[in-house]
Structure 1
């Protein structure tokens, strides 16, 4: 199959509706032969299955490549996100995807941070899509997604070896963003002190593409944008942009006087960078500077 790859920016608002449903439940144990638990590892007999089992023992997190909709789109009362579909991975590209995830997500954070913030599950998917074609004549495809029990990586298919450097950097940004989204939803992370005061208030209808620089709002809000947003969406937009963009490019785009007309891009950027470097030992810009 050929994966439909959209432009750099997608609809962050779609993430916000289900944001705080991304709770990590009590960890399950790896099933022993003859047991009947929710998940059983390993799911196959490939070399990467050993790595997945070891990852579970280290973090109490299930990496799954065999699953169905109940694993990502249902809670106790029923379906969470209408028209969301997450298709299981193409097994031919799982090893390559796991290598990418280690280099661009797991290996870039301190061990203490990972132990504290790891989600309940990570789904390896060949496609993540929300179909609104009956209403908006659109289908939205995502590199990564935060759902009920964890996060999903949606590029594990035959297009993965052909992705450009820019597309791989974009995928890194989305993986990091949904990881942080899940961690925030579970209460494992705090926002930088003072960020909410810099962000546009909830339900701010004054924001449009033409005046985004007035509020220091990144472009990721404006692809197929339907309505108001909040400081969580604003914050996560910075996470994706910082972790997918090298420092020189970021400085020469968002931080120039012509763009940063009120200095809000620089204030938000520096606040986020300094807060997590000081309090969590994380250099987010170093992630954006990684080479794929």
Structure 2
């Protein structure tokens, strides 16, 4: 028994005396998500991307793969010319996403700041998707035509919402000549895509849902009188909430209150739309410090 004890203490002594040498940090970049590391390059904007990740844990990538872009649990929605040009019927459109031209990533980041980030308080910035993919091409493309679709058969998108990411277009020379109208449309699309991505993480005020009756027994011509914006959402409370978020993002307050606007008495005959709109705007301001109507009011001309 004594021999066993002496052997045990001897092993402890050897381990405690072992000198591993001075620990040194690895010179290799740290893995962030999977195979990705930051920075992806040596441009001036790479420092901004690294700082952004450290602050918000959202990874901005201007280099990515088609699997990163198109993966869904039900399949891959990335366009693949090798298989998606084969003639067949019933195919749903897929999406062609090409990595950003690095010459324009700086301008693309500024566009995101101007049209999304600057509207969001810090709390909501922390809800950004895991990845933001910067693209030079972002098209909805028909499949199964039997040939590669012509340019006019493609639909350029401002933004695409993936399973765990947002893909952002205009990492190309076009960004230098975008018109005010195009930049306003980009703002709406990217802000709506963001809200759709995070709406499940936001609280919703109970009083908002007490204004309308959610029932099938509503005629199409009575939805506004009941405070609903979309007949198809008369039973869908979450969609109704999102409809109101979009209402503020897509319209200025002035246009909402003008004749024909959703807050005008000619449309909002019972005042229920304004009541729900006010509840929503006030709740987001008090709960998150988020002025959602500021998005709709910010219009370039």
> Normalising by the residue count of structure 1, what TM-score does the alignment of the two structures yield?
0.70
Q: Bigger relative contact order, structure 1 or 2, given CA contacts below 8 A and separation 6+?
A: 1
Is 1:155 the counterpart of 2:152? The answer is no
Q: CA deviation at 1:56?
A: 0.9
Q: Which residue of 2 aligns with 1:193?
A: 206
Task: State whether residues 173 and 242 of structure 1, in contact with CA within 8 Å, keep that contact through their aligned partners in structure 2.
Answer: no
Task: State whether residues 256 and 263 of structure 2, in contact with CA within 8 Å, keep that contact through their aligned partners in structure 1.
Answer: yes
Residue segments in structure 2 that go unaligned for 5+ positions in a row: 1-26, 79-91, 146-151
Q: Which residue of 1 aligns with 2:277?
A: 269
Residues 179, 35 of structure 1: alpha-carbon distance in 2 compared, 3 angstrom cutoff: closer
Q: Which residue of 2 aligns with 1:110?
A: 121
Task: State whether residues 133 and 166 of structure 2, in contact with CA within 8 Å, keep that contact through their aligned partners in structure 1.
Answer: yes
Residues 228, 99 of structure 1: alpha-carbon distance in 2 compared, 3 angstrom cutoff: same
Q: Which residue of 2 aligns with 1:235?
A: 241
Q: Which residue of 1 aligns with 2:100?
A: 89
Q: CA deviation at 1:97?
A: 1.9
Residues 283, 79 of structure 1: alpha-carbon distance in 2 compared, 3 angstrom cutoff: same
Correspondence for 1:32 among 7, 28, 31: 28
Q: Which residue of 2 aligns with 1:246?
A: 252
Q: Which residue of 1 aligns with 2:139?
A: 129
Is 1:165 the counterpart of 2:180? The answer is yes
Correspondence for 1:47 among 44, 47, 58: 44
**Larger Rg over CA atoms:** 2
Q: CA deviation at 1:148?
A: 1.0
- The alignment's C-alpha RMSD in Å is 3.7
Task: State whether residues 30 and 37 of structure 2, in contact with CA within 8 Å, keep that contact through their aligned partners in structure 1.
Answer: no
Q: Which residue of 1 aligns with 2:86?
A: none
Correspondence for 2:288 among 272, 280, 284: 280
Task: State whether residues 29 and 37 of structure 2, in contact with CA within 8 Å, keep that contact through their aligned partners in structure 1.
Answer: no
Q: Which residue of 1 aligns with 2:199?
A: 184
> SS where residue 152 of structure 1 aligns?
strand
CA shift digits 1:120-141 (9 cap, x unpaired): 1111123433335769x97554
Q: CA deviation at 1:111?
A: 1.8
Residues 194, 100 of structure 1: alpha-carbon distance in 2 compared, 3 angstrom cutoff: same
Q: Which residue of 2 aligns with 1:62?
A: 59
Task: State whether residues 29 and 38 of structure 2, in contact with CA within 8 Å, keep that contact through their aligned partners in structure 1.
Answer: no
Residues 167, 192 of structure 1: alpha-carbon distance in 2 compared, 3 angstrom cutoff: farther
Q: CA deviation at 1:105?
A: 1.9
Q: Which residue of 2 aligns with 1:14?
A: none
CA shift digits 1:257-279 (9 cap, x unpaired): 22323434323321210111121
> Normalising by the residue count of structure 2, what TM-score does the alignment of the two structures yield?
0.68
Q: CA deviation at 1:61?
A: 1.0
Residue segments in structure 1 that go unaligned for 5+ positions in a row: 1-30
Task: State whether residues 95 and 141 of structure 2, in contact with CA within 8 Å, keep that contact through their aligned partners in structure 1.
Answer: yes
Q: How many residues align?
A: 251
Task: State whether residues 205 and 283 of structure 2, in contact with CA within 8 Å, keep that contact through their aligned partners in structure 1.
Answer: yes
- Partners of 2:292 and 2:55 in 1: CA distance: 24
Task: State whether residues 62 and 133 of structure 2, in contact with CA within 8 Å, keep that contact through their aligned partners in structure 1.
Answer: yes
